[in-house]
Amino acid sequence: MTRPDSPRVAGWSGPADYSRGVPSRLDPTIDHAAVNIARGLAMDAPLAVKSGHQGTAMSLAPLAHVLYSRVMKHDPSDPGWADRDRFVLSAGHASILQYSMLFLQGYGTTLDDLKAFRQWGSATPGHPEVGHTAGVEVTTGPLGQGLANAVGLAMAERHLRARFGSDLCDHHTWVIAGDGCLMEGVSHEAASFAGHQKLSRLVVVFDDNGITIDGGTGLSCSDDVAKRFDSYGWSVRALGEIGEDLEALENALVAARDDGDERPKMLVLRTQVGVPSPDWTGRHEAHGNPFSAEHVTRTKDVMGIPDEPFWAPEAVVTAVRAAARRYEAQREAWAKRASSHAEWQAMMSGPDPRWAESLPVFPIGESLATRVAIQKGFDAILPSVPGLVAGSADLTGNTGTRLSGQSALAPTTPEGRQVYYGVREHAMGSIMVGMALHGGLLPVGGTFFVFFDYMKPPVRLAALSRAKCIFVFSHDSVGVGEDGPTHQPIEHLAALRAIPDLQVIRPCDANETSAALRAAIEHNGPTALVLSRQNLPVVCDGGAVTRGAGVLREGSDVCLVATGSEVAVALAAADGLAESGVSARVVSMPSWDRFESTRRNDRALAEAILPPSMPTVSIEAGATLGWHKYADACVGIDRFGVSAPGTTSLINLGMSPSNVVHVVESLLRSDAVD
């Protein structure tokens, strides 16, 4: 076999041919060489660092090459082009496949980056990370999340196309998913939702290789994927074993893209993991890292390429990158159209600078649940925040995420701003992340706080991705009442606060809720708003949100620091303490992470709010885990809740002014003895 390691390859006269213009497609010899480069890199990078997954990357190299070099609309010179096709490697363990494509296509990934695969500080981490590597659209790795993110990407594209027309938004979302992605429960929810929404520009290639880490898929799974997706309302096509046939792959992808079918597409591609290894092809061991240097040598011999690490002849790479410029002129023309469209620019760059002026202000003494206050806030800002879309997991009215006067985002009204996710918390969170990372939309999603259990993976990935989502969690304590411990979140605030780069705000009243909404929209990343079911008195102007904490009442003997509904309890307890001559300071602390930012940037201010020398008692209707950082004694709930009226539950579990007074008096007696 002729090795294309120099310009003198039969049928190709070298890169000079490509300098005269952008070719519509590559010479077949270059196609073949590019696939071999990708397969070689898929073996070399894991071998070099003794870590990684080469098997899937090897078998899917032809598919990925066809997608990037023939089918997808993209321009490596501008990875952020808003009207590019999106590619999601849901099977994120095969990250070396995507990195190889980004290198070949000219996205800025270098051979040195590939040599540093999975190493400290490299641009090629173990799984693709958006914002870390140019050309990566979403952070994948936890299986099924990428597929669900892609549903959000496709939702955003259709919504923006409906509002602005195909001159500004006209692209597709492509996904590679494996058996693991489709086994995970989130894929069921997301696929069902996508079928119902008729997301015709979503194309998923199912890499049907029949293996998992433990062995063949028959060990654990016998469902019929094609029938399953057909029942969800997808167009399902069996491609058979065409994984090595570039022309057949191209024809199948283009047919799925252009067929006019209103349903999302599932293409079932039969592959053999680890192909063309003479040792590991088709074996489940090829998923991980069983290849030794000898195995790589034998495989490269079968491929007919030099047995040298990171083989990537410059002439071939130059040709592939020249062809990757084929959408450059189209992108430039699009940019001119987009630059003159004011509303599009507003969607992409954020709301009007004066948008916050429309946030509602509530009079002191009024009483309403913070879940009600957030709905009033959303309605007030809708005209000035055009990218805001909101929905819930079948709890729209209950969580304050109903947008007054807005139509449903549906196949017949894709421009709608109200999303009905159904009882699908797993998928809702992941779809929101995809919508946010697409650009142009600010997704809001609501559910009861206890069901954060179902949303933990996408909330974590939103934080890792800095996806600008607003997660609304209402019914935030045992105040939920008679529904009992299954519906009463106890440990959830501690779990939320443990997630890095997630802004968590539990406002004490309606004005703090307005301030929390402002903080969420101004924050560069995701926010969790934790809201009450029960009515709460309006007790402040909301200023504590800015710093994370604020003094609502001055005092010199003891500090009561509380969040959410317990701020009112703290104020009542302060009144009770005053009757016995104890001067209690009351601090509302709606956001630990914002307060920690204040402490890092202005320690004196933080200590003026929470004086370290003053005995401090925390009050929160949840687990006390973490509060000892701020408090000498904690009033909280370190057990599961009960089935009883909300007020009864709160009182009997210690969330009462009288119990706070008792704890404070005990603390002060203890301090006096010490």
Annotation: CATH topology of 547-673 = Rossmann fold (3.40.50)
Given a cut of 70, is residue 16 above it in pLDDT?
A: no
pLDDT in tens, 83-116: 999 999 999 999 999 999 999 999 999 999 999 9
Beta partners for residue 237, in sequence order: 267
Instruction: Report the run of H or E that residue 562 belongs to, with start and end.
Output: strand 558-562
pLDDT in tens, 568-606: 999 999 999 999 999 999 999 999 999 999 999 999 999
Q: Supply angle C-alpha 307, 313, 319, rounded to 5.
A: 145
Task: Quickly state the pLDDT bin for 289 (edges 50, 70, 90).
Answer: confident
Closest CA to 27 of 39, 15, 43, 45: 15
Compute the distance between CA of residue 357 and CA of residue 354 in angstroms, rounded to an integer: 6
Given a contact cutoff of 8 angstroms between Cβ atoms, the answer to whether 381 and 388 are in contact is yes
Question: What does the DSSP 8-state code read for residue 327?
Answer: G
* CB contact set of 282 (below 8 Å; sequence gap of 6+): 209, 211, 272, 273, 274, 275
CA distance linking residue 504 with residue 386, whole number of Å: 24
- What secondary structure letter does DSSP report for 9? B
Dist. CA 193–CA 503, nearest whole Å:
28
What are the backbone dihedrals phi and psi of residue 346, each rounded to the nearest 5 degrees, phi first? -65, -40
Say if CB 595 and CB 556 are below 8 A apart: no
User: What are the residues facing 536 on neighbouring strands?
Assistant: 368
Question: What average pLDDT does range 494-507 have in this prediction?
Answer: 98
CB 497 within 8 A of CB 523: no
Residue 644, phi then psi, degrees to nearest 5: -170, 165
Q: Calculate the alpha carbon distances from 458 to 142, 176, 211 in Å.
A: 10, 19, 26
Fold agreement (27-333, 547-673): yes
- Cα–chain center distance at 123: 19
Distances (CA, A) of 355 to 8, 402, 406, 557: 62, 20, 19, 41
Q: Which of 10-14, 44-48, 415-419 has the lowest mean pLDDT?
A: 10-14
Alpha-carbon distances of 396 from 177, 282, 406, 423, 448, rounded to whole Å = 31, 47, 13, 11, 10
What pTM was computed for the model? Answer: 0.95
Q: Note the pLDDT tens digit of each residue in 233-283.
A: 999 999 999 999 999 999 999 999 999 999 999 999 999 999 999 999 889
Q: Pull the structure tokens for residue 595.
A: 């307060």
Distance of CA 84 to the CA centre of its chain: 19
Mean pLDDT of 42-50: 96
**Confidence at residue 674, expressed as pLDDT on a 0 to 100 scale:** 64
Query: Which are the catalytic amino acids?
Result: 425
Question: If we measure between CA atoms, which residue out of 386, 401, 427 comes closest to residue 160?
Answer: 386
Fold of 349-537: Rossmann fold (3.40.50)
What would the pLDDT profile of 397-425 be if each residue is shown by its tens digit?
999 999 999 999 999 999 999 999 999 99
Tokens of 339: 């630059």
Residue 15 confidence (pLDDT): 37
- What is the longest distance spanned by two Cα atoms in the chain? 97
What is the predicted pLDDT for the residue at 515? 98
Q: Where do the domains of the chain lie?
A: 27-333, 349-537, 547-673
Length of the chain: 674
Locate 10 and state its tokens.
Answer: 């039969």
C-alpha to C-alpha distance for 515 and 374, rounded to whole angstroms: 10
Assess contact for 262 and 233: CB atoms under 8 A: no
How large is the average pLDDT for residues 273-297?
Answer: 91
Give the span between the Cα atoms of 238 and 254, in whole angstroms: 15
Neighbouring-strand partners of residue 633 = 617
- pLDDT over 50 (residue 507): yes
What is the tens place of the pLDDT at every residue in 104-151?
Answer: 999 999 999 999 999 999 999 999 999 999 999 999 999 999 999 999
Topology of domain 27-333, CATH = Rossmann fold (3.40.50)
From residue 347, alpha-carbon distances to 150, 358, 375, 417 in Å are 20, 18, 21, 13
Contact (Cβ atoms closer than 8 angstroms) between residue 480 and residue 453: no
Element (H, E) at 380: helix 370-381
Residues 477-514 as b/e (b if ≥16 CB within 10 A, e otherwise) read bbbbbebebebbbbebbbbbbebeebbbbbbbbbbbbb
Q: Residue 499 half-sphere exposure, CB side, CA atoms within 13 Å?
A: 25
Tokens matching residue 20: 């005269």
What mean pLDDT, rounded, does the chain reach? 95
Examine the pLDDT at 22 and tell me if it is beyond 80: no
DSSP conformational letter for 423: S
pLDDT in tens, 430-453: 999 999 999 999 999 999 999 999
